[in-house]
Every structure is written in structure tokens, then in C-alpha cells.
Structure 1
Amino acid sequence: MADQSFLNWPFFEDKHRALHAELESWASANLPVDHSDVDQACKDLVAALGKAGFLQHSGAKQGEKLDVRSLCLIRETLARHDGLADFAFAMQGLGTGALSLFGTPDQQAWLDKTRAGEALSAFALSEPKSGSDVANIELSAEDKGNHYVLNGEKTWISNGGIANVYTVFARTGEAPRAKGLSAFVVPADSEGLEIAERLDVIAPHPLARLKFNNVHVPKTNMIGEAGAGFKIAMSVLDVFRSTVGAAALGFARRALDETLARAKSRELFGAPLAELQMVQGHIADMALDVDAAALLIYRAAWTKDMGAARVTREAAMAKLYATDKAQEVIDKAVQIHGGDGVRKGSIVESLYREIRALRIYEGASDVQKIVIARQTLS
């Protein structure tokens, strides 16, 4: 089992330690799952996480509060056991994040379903010409009186094709670029919403390109105010960006655990790998990067939980450092495992594929450097 001494850090309360113990027990008994049918695996994972009560942490209705430390602990623990389980949990939170933070009571009725594991959610932000540059969104939402009509495309949408509800960001045109975007709740069965393409990636997850062909959305489905879409998207990412770092931390912890076991059991030149100074140097670097990443992640989560309106700088630092360093930790794990490290189906090989996307989605590493620089210069 991975090192748990970090749970004694002052960032955590007894409720977090209890949550970790409960989830660790559940994950050890239920994960990993069969990934041969990724769509079905995600549906089953959401149902199981909902039944076990862990999805209650993924959203918050009016009068409740998202606990970012709990979100991070859950993602870290699930990622350490099964990357697809982390994905399934994460999308229930990210997909309904705008509803948790800005939704009306009627809109938040979706949270009853997503937190129970009875519906899957998705966050439809990226477009063919709008990834890191959110203000460049082109999908249009034309005001038709009592409803809007949506036309355009979204792509790289996690849970695309299996989600029951999408949070969609579209251009309503109140002003140029960022000030002219709005957010909507769009049920997956809306007429004119088409799954145009399923997208395959190196670590299989359900992803899709969506087409909106004259999709009618009632005005009551707008989240927040017209023109507030960019603010809503950034507020959601401000909460969930730290959790991406937490997932990377879970991958890195698993890689370190696998490396320690390998170094102690594998012999080279008549002695365990662990006795070689070069291997010890790699292990020291890995342990250092894991702890430093954890400190940045839980600092950001604690700061948000303590009432900070925004943690843009802290979350960007946590996501950037944790994802980049997890890539390095896992690469060292592959190297120390030798040929077994690149054997398809081995744990470190799967970690190698899982980690790469985390340095891209919810703000690529280079974009996080821009965010940190601007925040530091301001």
C-alpha cells in the first residue's frame, strides 16, 4: 500500500482520513475493473461509486459546499487503483461543476441523479478551434425568445456518447470573445444533438465529437446569467484543476510502489536492484517528486476549502507540477522495470499511457505556466 503519512499533514481533518480509509477498502475490493468495453465499464463504475456513496462528494446543491480536499483524496486513491475509475468519478464532478456552483434548484435536480450514479455527466467546452483558448468558442446559441437554438461542434468531450446530460458553453454574443459566452444544461436526448465521432486515445476513455444541429434549449436551462459562461467555466476549472494533479499523484504513487517492489525483488549482478546507487538515486527523485506534488495539491485544495474566492495560481501550480513530475516518476518506473516496463498490460506500461493526457486536458502545461506567470506578475 502507498505511503499514507501525508494524511497526518495539517491540511486534513478526521473526516478526510475516514473517507480515505473507507475508499481504500472499497477500491481494494472492487478495482481494477475489466476495460475491454470502456463504455460499459464507465457506466458500471459510476453506478458502483454511486451505490457506495462516494459520488455524493462529486457535487453540491444549494446550502452545501464542495470539499476540494475530499475530491482530491478520492481522485488520488482511485487513480492509484484504476485510471478508468478515476475518470468515471472525475467526470461526475466536472460535468456538473457548473450546476454545483451556479445552478438553480430545478437545474440541480440533475445532481440527485449524478450523485446517485443513475446518470452520467459531461463538460462540453473544447471545440475544433477552441481548446486552451476558451474565449475562441464558436458554437452559437441564438436567442429565440423563450429558448435558444444551438449550432456548432464540440470535441474531445469526455463521456461523449454515454453521458445523459452535458454542460455546454456557447456564444450568445453579448460582447466579443470571453464576455459573449454562456453556459447551458443540455440533456443528451435533445433533438439535433448528434454524436458525430467517437475518439480513440492511447489510454482508452469514452470521448466524442458532438454536433449541435438546431438544438432547442429552454431559457430555463441557462446556467447563471447570459454572458457569464467564461466566468462559470473558469470557476469550475478553479475547483477541479487541483484534482487533475491529484489523479496524477495517484498514478505516481502507484509507479513508486511498483518500483520499490521491483527494486527489492529483482536481482542484478548478484544483488537486489535496490542496492545499486543509481537505482537509489532514481527512487530518491521519485519520492521527492511525489511528496512535493502532494504538498502543492493539498495546499491548493485546503486554500479553496478555507474560503478563498479563487485559487487560480495555487491550482495551476499544483496541476502543472504534479502532472509533469508524475510523467517523470512513471518514466523512471518503466526504466527500472526494463523490458517488463513496456510489456503491454503491465501496470507501469498502463500508467505510462494514462499519465500523458493529464498534461493536456483542463489546461495544458504550457498554459499553466502562462497562468502562473500572469498571477505572479499581477
Structure 2
Amino acid sequence: MTGFALGAEQEEWCGQLRALAADRLRPLADKGEPGRVNRPLLAALGELGLLERVFTSGALELCLLRESLAYGCTEAETALALQGLGAHPVLGSGTPEQRARWLPEVRAGRAVAAFALSEPGAGSDAAALALEAVRDTGSAVDGGGGGGGGGGGGWRLSGEKCWISNAPEADFYTVFARTGEGPAAKGVTAFLVPADRPGLSGEPLDMLSPHPIGRLSFDGVPVGPQDLLGEPGRGFKVAMDTLNRFRPSVGAFAVGMARAALDATLAYTAGRRAFGGVLGDLQAVGHRVAEMATRTEAARLLVYAAAGAYDAGSPDVPRRSAMAKLLATETAQYVVDHAVQLHGAVALQRGHLLEHLYREVRAPRIYEGASEVQRTIIAKELYR
């Protein structure tokens, strides 16, 4: 691609993905139960090779994938993204044994991954984690699901995680806990914790979300050196590397929703007769749609630029990723809201595309760093 347009092959691929989302994935999503993992949908994403793309694509290709799926089926996009978010630390920081055990299952859609960072008192302030990892000096413990436990070289996890996507139904969790090598972010370690590990339990939360979100409780959960993701005390870097990788593509998810809302609005206002003509002929309507389109295009370009910077190894990735996530998610909220306004009451009917998007579009302004956090990151990077 150039700095301003996709190539012909990329445009064709995106079109194929949008059609695939609408024709193959949307029917599976519609059969899913809200608040539960849709395993048939995950299996289809695996069979189609789309989960494999999450781990083999560059950041730009990942953005195109997420944007195109979001246009046709937000549930499929979210299922795919959560697999990537939960398993990317395994890909980037896991041992050969961890990768061999879990990544083929994730890519096939057979194992469900989850990224367990947020806590009741540490959502946006990720460095303030309270989940404690205490050195285990007792005898070795068979942790199940691939090992774990003491022998003097392990830890016991105690505390809570909250607002964790795919919890409590995930098969394994990337968990960030305080091991105390240093203050704040310097004392956080990342672990791979299988769901069947003793002392680990969870409960679903009743959230405005089509996928499960839950709370996890750790009651002396045993983990050992073989469960480490990276080095002790370097877990915050594992978390930030993952978030920097995925933040531009959260923006792409938002752009996909905005483009779907915009296209629906163009079609509706071009055909809806009112006041002696069609809605699109009214200057107030035309100007509103023009603003929606301009903001969507600006967000799309910023997302692609951030992804390109990540692929190029640019040092300003944190700033660009934060800008892309901020603008795209705020833009999608604006576009979907105005699309609903221009459609009127019909858009509020249960099952209407815009009723669905209106519920879906709110969460991305919060997760993986709320808009306020993105502004803080941008400011710090500018003054660095």
C-alpha cells in the first residue's frame, strides 16, 4: 500500500473477508448464546485459517482482517481478537513447550485463550496490580493442565482478576501477578495458567457484551518456572508489547463498525422519502453524512499508519498506537450514534444492524486502555 490507499490485492482480500463474515460467520454468531464462548464460531475461524493469520500477519494485515470481519460480523471479529490477545504473550515470550502445547490448539479454535490483566482496583492503572505471587517453599505440586507447582522454585498466586474477556470459560489464562522484584511495573511477572489449575475459580459477570466477561479468584494457585512467560519481574513488558501490537487493530475493529454504520446510513438516506424528496437531499442530512465519512476516513488512515509504524519497527509505536486507538474508537461512537439518529426509531428495533452496533461500539473506548489512558500515553510520549 501507499501512505493513502490499499493495493488492489489488499482491497480484494478485504472484500472477500467481508463476504465471508456475512455469509459464513454471521449465521454461526446468530446461533451463539450471549455471554458464552461460541465454540462453533471459533472452530470455523480456525478451519478458515483466520486464527492462523492472527499469529503470522504483520500489524497492517491484522488491522485489515479485524476491520473486514467487524464490518460483517462483530462477534467473529471479537472471538478472533481475544484468541490473539490471550495467546500472543505465549507466542512472544513462551517456552517451546508452552508454544507446542497451546498455540496449535488456539490456531485451530479448539482452545480458548484469555488475557488476565485487569483487577478490581487496577483497570486503567495496570502497574498497580495486587494479585500476589508468593514464593512456594513447600513440596512440588502437580498443577494439572501442563505442570506447575513448587519444589522451592515456584509461586502461589492469591487475589482476583476482574473484567476478563472469555473468563471463566477460557482453557488457559495469561496472568500478570506481583512478584516483587521492584516497585510498580518493575515487580510484575507473567504466567501461563491452565484453567484446571488447583485453586483457580471464576464466575461470569452480567455485562453489556456478547462474549463472556468474568471474575477470576486465585486461592494459592501453584505456578512454577515452566509456567513463566518471559523473565520474573518483566511481565509488564510482556503486557505492553501485547497491547502495543493489538491497539492499532482495536482501532481497526472500530473503523469496521463505523464503515458498516456509514454504508447503512448512505443506503437508508438515499431511499427514505420524506418532506417531498429523499432524506439525502436535505442539506442537514448530507452534511451530517459527509462529517461521518470524513471522520471515518481519517480514523482509517491513522490506524493504517500506526500499523505500518509497528511493522517498520518505528520507535514511536506507543504514541501512534495510542492515537489510532483513541481516534478510531471515539470516531466509531460518533458515527454509529449519528447513524442511529438519521435512521430514527427503526434503528432501535431489536435485531437491527445499528441497534447491534450501538451496543457493540461503546466498550472499545474502555478496554485495552480507556480513551483517557490513551491521551495520557500520547502526552507522555510527546514530552519525552
Q: TM-score, normalising length from structure 2?
A: 0.91
Task: Give 1:42's aligned residue.
Answer: 38
- Per-residue CA deviations over 1:241-283 (Å, capped at 9, x if unaligned) read 1111111101100100110111011111121101000000111
1:141 aligns with 2:133: yes
- Alignment check: 8 A CA contact 2:116 2:161 kept: yes
Q: 1:142 to 1:16 in 2, by over 3 A?
A: farther
Which residue in the other structure is 1:30 paired with?
A: 24
Does the 8 Å contact 1:35/1:41 carry over to 2? no
Residue 74 of structure 1 deviates from its aligned partner by: 1.3
Offset at residue 20 of structure 1 (A): 2.4
Conserved? CA contact 1:193–1:211, under 8 Å = yes
Counterpart in the other structure of 1:180:
187
- Whether 2:286 is the aligned partner of 1:280: answer yes
> Given that residues 203 and 350 in structure 1 are in contact (C-alpha distance below 8 angstroms), is that contact kept between their aligned partners in structure 2?
no
Query: Equivalences for 1:40-79 in 2 at 5 Å?
Result: 42-59=38-55, 66-79=57-70
Is structure 2 residue 206 aligned with structure 1 residue 200?
A: yes
Whole-Å separation in 1 of the counterparts to 2:372 and 2:31 = 31
Cα distance in structure 2, aligned partners of 1:73 and 1:287? 18
How much does 1:25 deviate? 3.5
**1:167 corresponds to 2:179:** no
1:111 and 1:377 mapped to 2: Cα distance?
A: 39
Moved more, 364-373 or 95-104: 95-104
SS at the partner of 2:97? coil
Q: Which residue of 1 aligns with 2:258?
A: 252
Q: Structure 1: any 5+ residue segments left out of the alignment?
A: 1-6, 61-65
Query: Is the 8 Å Cα contact of residues 86 and 247 (structure 1) preserved in structure 2?
Result: yes
Q: Which residue of 2 aligns with 1:63?
A: none
The one-letter code sitting in structure 1 at the alignment partner of 2:162 is T
Q: How does 1:78-227 map to 2 (within 5 A)?
A: 78-109=69-100, 110-144=102-136, 145-195=152-202, 197-227=203-233
The 1-side partners of 2:47 and 2:66 are apart by 17
Q: Measure the CA separation in 1 of the matches of 2:58 and 2:90.
A: 15
Q: Is 2:296 the counterpart of 1:290?
A: yes
Which stretch of the first structure deviates more once superposed, 353-362 or 337-346? 337-346
- Using the TM superposition, give the Cα deviation of residue 31 of structure 1 relative to its aligned residue in structure 2, in angstroms: 3.3
Give the residue type in structure 2 aligned to 1:48.
A
- 1:166 CA drift (Å): 0.5
Q: Are the counterparts in 1 of residues 4 and 301 from structure 2 also a CA contact under 8 Å? A: no
Alignment length (residue pairs):
366
Stretch deviating more after TM superposition (23-32 or 267-276): 23-32
Residue 8 of structure 1, CA deviation: 7.0
Contact (CA 8 Å) 1:159, 1:208: kept in 2 or not? yes
Per-residue CA deviation, residues 357-376 of structure 1 (Å, 9 max, x unaligned), is: 00000010011111111111
Question: Among 365, 368, 374, which residue is 2:371 paired with?
Answer: 365
C-alpha distance in 2, partners of 1:8/1:314?
18
Choose the corresponding residue for 1:349, options 349, 352, 355: 355
Q: Calculate the TM-score normalised by the size of structure 1.
A: 0.93
How far residue 337 of structure 1 moved from its aligned partner, in angstroms, is 0.5
CA distance in 2, matches of 1:177, 1:318: 27
Larger deviation: 171-180 or 340-349? 340-349
Cα RMSD after superposing both structures = 1.7
**Superposition map of 1:225-240 within 5 A:** 225-240=231-246
How far is the alpha carbon of 1:42 from its aligned partner? Answer: 2.2
Per-residue displacement from partner, 1:78-99 (whole Å, max 9, x unpaired)? 1111221111000011001111
Aligned to 1:265: 271
Contact 1:150 1:217 in 2 (8 A): yes
Q: What is the rounded CA distance, in whole Å, between the counterparts of 2:218 and 2:31 in structure 1?
A: 30
Is the 8 Å Cα contact of residues 170 and 183 (structure 1) preserved in structure 2? yes
Q: Which stretch of structure 1 is more off in the superposition, 94-103 or 114-123?
A: 94-103
* CA deviation string 1:144-202 (max 9, x = no partner): 2232211110000000022111100000010111100000001111111101x311222
**Residues 21-30 or 220-229, more deviating:** 21-30
Query: Partner letter of residue 17 of structure 2?
Result: L
- Partner Cα distance (2:286, 2:210) in 1: 33
Residue 112 of structure 2 contacts residue 170 of structure 2 at CA under 8 Å; is this kept in 1?
Answer: yes
Contact residue 36 and residue 210 of structure 2 kept, 8 A: no
Partners of 1:150 and 1:372 in 2: how far apart? 33
- The 1:221–1:15 alpha-carbon spacing in structure 2 relative to 1, beyond 3 Å, is farther
